[in-house]
Amino acid sequence: MTLLAQVPTGSGQPPPEPPAARSGRYRLLPYLLLLPGAAWLLVFFGVPLVQLASASLYDPSGSLSTGYAMTWAFGNYPDVLQAYWPQFLRSFGYAGVALVLALLLGYPLAYAIAQKAGRWKNLLLVCVVAPMFTSFLVRTLAWKTILSDNGALVGLLRDVHLLAPDGRLLATPFAVVLGLTYNFLPFLVLPLYASLERLDYRLLEAASDLYASPVEAFRRVTLPLSMPGLIAGTLLFFIPASGDYINAELLGTPNEYMIGNVIDSAFLVRLDYPQGAALSFLLMAAILAVVFGYLRRAGTEEVL
Amino acid sequence: MRVSRWLADRWVMIVALLVLGYLALPILVVAGLSFNRPSSRLSYDFNEFTLDNWRQPCATSDMCDAVVRSVQIGFIATVVATVLGTLMAFALVRHRFRGRSGINVLIFLPMATPELVMGTSLLALFVSAGVPLGFWTIVIAHVMFCVSFVVVTVKARLAGMDRRLEEAAMDLYASEWQTFRRITLPLVLPGIVAAALLAFSLSFDDFIITNFNAGTTVTFPMYVWGAAQRGIPPQVNVIGTAMFAIALLLVGLSSLRGRRARRANLLAGPVQSSPARRPS
């Protein structure tokens, strides 16, 4: 179970301050320990971001074969925004709807595992993580089978007239949102579970002794106490969901394409690096703006 | 009041089980489809039961090549990321030094950056540096995004460790190396193993970052992606199901070991109740 117990939650108590170095020769040791890993991250994560930033300002008329000239073409940004704002809006719209769905599904699940499952707790936790044991793409393709026009689900929905006789589930926004919700739900549930697991049930009993209704007890006790996990889980869900393009590609049509699809094709199909880089940076900036706006509203900036 | 709470309790559990069903459904479908003889290459529907896919999982040889390549990449990336990440975790938990918050940001950021941005930026670097894309650029990328997860996982284990065990060893005249080898390492090892498993599964399953930095090298997820356009061979579901079974087996074994270790701890007595242990 160690694997499950230690899934990063992105939050949690700060570790206790380590003791001061005992003698002089320990002074350098931490730097030696950090050097290889930090260098790797700097060279292959930090430097590339700078590289991407400069690529986004290249002259857009260049190409991969003729080479790009650095012309500080800030015009790339308004250009791509003008061309692809619907995909941007759609990305955040789909990710937002999926997030609401995931919260509605994930909160009861995390709560049940943390507070109600008793000795089944570990088993249920394995069930939450288990989907990740199968390849992400293979699972997403499985949804294609489930939602297929000839499948049992579509047949049932047509029979009860929830779906028109020629109605489809696949290749609709619904399928994409369902896929997003499904794929990133465990990332929301695990940190939420970690928070709820520490919740002392006696606090709820106290609330009810003081005449709080269950709803009020939830709103004033459970919810605030689960806030760190809720915030971490929301971010771990929202960041990959808004940058995803696999669900839109496999379960949707070009009408459902998200910004990720555009970036993917800019880099790998159209080979338009300045445009792809500008879009990537806008995506990152938009996500950071959403994240920080959210954290400010949630009132816990120390999460980061 | 009591009746409504009883209902509320059951309501939560019922919803939870339904959500678990939602999470499990695609896996059941994958397992089912691994026994399917599809009517055509582009069909995703269940057609006819067969054991052929399991008898000849490598009927499409490109796929097995891709699986082998994914395992190789996963193995190398896991070893490198686990070593680098574990060293960093030791530095962060056991030492006080300048620049600590900068390092923490450097470790946190890759986990908060969309994979797409990491993939594209690394591609921009490789292209401008003239590095040919292929096996080793994939390994570099995988180590990069696995390191942070290793650090976080090992750090959690280290932070929860009782320092007094090491002090006791030193009091009993163990040298620093002996203390590390006989006390610290065995106690941290479960965390390191967990981190390595996490790193391997992240690497094996990664598609987005790999896709940007692979050149013409094909990993298993990339094979599936390409096949989704041309038609998926049913053997893909065999691999998916087998991976799931292997992972489940590993979890089962580790929880069995954990239970045995806990029982041994209980017999050992007071160590278990030491207040320095983090309540979990």
- The domains found in chain A, sorted by start residue, are 85-303 (1.10.3720.10)
CA distances from A217 to A139, A143, A208, A209, B269 (A): 38, 38, 7, 10, 39
DSSP assignment of B90-147: HHHHH---TTHHHHHHHHHHHHHS-HHHHHHHHHHHHHHHTPPPSHHHHHHHHHHHHH
SS3 at position A191: helix
Residues of chain A contacting residue B70, judged by C-beta atoms under 8 Å apart: none
Residue A300: band (very low, low, confident or very high) from pLDDT cuts 50, 70, 90: low
pLDDT in the model for residue B146: 95
DSSP B49: B
Query: Cβ contacts (< 8 Å) between A46 and chain B: which residues?
Result: 106
Q: Which of B42, B70, B97 is best to mutate for the A interface (most A CBs within 10 A)?
A: B97
Tell me the pLDDT of chain A averaged across its residues.
84
What ipTM did this prediction achieve?
0.82
Please give the pLDDT value at position B276.
43
Q: Do B125 and A51 touch (CB under 8 A)?
A: yes
pLDDT one-digit tens code per residue, B12-30: 888 999 999 999 999 999 9
Per CB-CB distance under 8 Å, the chain B contacts of A117 are 13
- Residue of higher predicted confidence among B262 and A279: A279
Tokens matching residue A22: 């005992």
Please determine, for residue A21, whether its predicted confidence score (pLDDT) is greater than 70.
no
Q: Do A243 and B147 touch (CB under 8 A)?
A: no
Question: With an 8 Å Cβ cutoff, is A150 touching chain B?
Answer: yes
A8: pLDDT strictly greater than 50: no
A64 — contact with chain B (CB < 8 Å)? Answer: yes
Length, in residues, of chain B: 280
Q: Which residues are CB-neighbours of B196 under 8 A, at least 6 positions away?
A: B78, B79, B82, B150
Question: How far B156 CA lies from chain A's nearest CA (Å)?
Answer: 7
Work out the mean pLDDT of chain B and round it to a whole number: 85
The reported pTM is 0.84
- Asked if the Cβ–Cβ distance from A3 to B88 is below 8 Å, we say no
pLDDT over threshold 60, residue B138: yes
pLDDT at A7 over 90: no
In this structure, of A45-54, A250-259, B146-155, B156-165, the range with the lowest mean pLDDT score is: B156-165
CB contact under 8 A, A131 and B122: no
The mean per-residue pLDDT over the stretch B153-176 comes to 87
Confidence of residue A97 (pLDDT cuts 50, 70, 90): very high
C-alpha B31/C-alpha B239 separation (Å) is 10
Q: Are B195 and B147 in contact (CB under 8 A)?
A: no
Residue B151 has pLDDT above 90, yes or no: yes
**Helix (H) and strand (E) counts for chain A?**
15, 0
Q: Quickly state the pLDDT bin for A25 (edges 50, 70, 90).
A: low
pLDDT exceeds 90 at position A89 = yes
pLDDT at A260 exceeding the cut of 60: yes
Tell me if A167 sits within 8 A of A219, measured CB to CB: no
The pLDDT value given to residue A270: 85
Helix (H, G, I), strand (E, B) or coil at A58: strand
pLDDT band at A24 (very low <50, low <70, confident <90, very high): low
Residues in chain A: 304
Percent of chain A with pLDDT over 90: 34
CA torsion A48-A54-A58-A63 (nearest 10°) is -10
Tell me, yes or no, if A254 comes closer than 8 A to chain B by beta carbon: no
Q: Which residue has the higher pLDDT, B107 or B43?
A: B107
Best to test chain A binding among B7, B10, B17, B19 (most A CBs inside 10 Å): B19
**pLDDT-based confidence at B8, cuts 50/70/90?**
low
Min CA distance, B48 vs chain A (Å)? 14
Tokens standing for residue B65: 């090549």
> A303: pLDDT confidence band, cut at 50, 70 and 90?
very low
Residue A6 pLDDT > 50: no
| The two three-digit tokens of residue B240, written as one number | 């998916």
Q: In chain A, what percentage of residues exceed pLDDT 70?
A: 88
Express each pLDDT in A161-198 by its tens digit.
888 878 888 889 999 999 999 999 999 999 999 888 88
Rounded mean pLDDT, B35-62: 80
pLDDT at B211 over 90: yes
Top residue of B23, B206, B232 to mutate, by most chain A CBs within 10 Å, is: B23
- Rounded to 5 degrees, what angle do the CA atoms B141, B145, B146 make? 110
Residues B25, B40: Cα–Cα separation, whole Å: 23
Q: What burial letters (b/e) apply to A242-280, b meaning 16+ CB within 10 Å?
A: bbbbbbbbbbbeeebbbbbbbbbebbeeeebbbbbbbbb
CB contact under 8 A, A36 and B84: yes
According to the model, what pLDDT value does residue B69 have?
Answer: 94
A136 contacts B221? CB cut-off 8 A: yes
Domain B68-221, CATH class in plain words: mainly alpha
CA atoms within 13 A on the CB side of A189: 31
Contact yes or no for B27 and A21 at CB 8 A: no
Q: Which residue of B has its CA nearest to A214?
A: B5
Residue B149 pLDDT exceeds 80: yes
Q: Across the interface, which of A111, A135, A280 has its CB nearest the CB of B121?
A: A280
Test A133 with B239 for CB contact under 8 angstroms: no
Which pLDDT value is given to residue B59?
A: 79
Please state the rounded mean pLDDT for residues B83-112. 89
Name the residue with tokens 């598609």. Answer: B207
Taking only the tens place, the pLDDT of each residue in A114-149 is: 888 888 888 888 888 888 888 889 999 999 889 988
B251/A126 touch (CB, cutoff 8 Å), yes or no: yes
Q: Which of B71, B117, B189 to mutate to test the interface with A (most CBs of A within 10 A)?
A: B117
Nearest-Cα distance to chain B for A148, in Å, is 7
When pLDDT is cut at 50, 70 and 90, the band that residue B278 belongs to is very low
* pLDDT of res. A3: 37
Looking at chain B, the whole-number percentage of residues with pLDDT higher than 90 is 38
> Computed over its alpha carbons, how large is the radius of gyration of chain A?
23
| Contact assignment for A214 to B108 by CB distance below 8 Å | no
Q: pLDDT tens digit string along B240-264?
A: 999 899 888 888 887 787 777 777 7
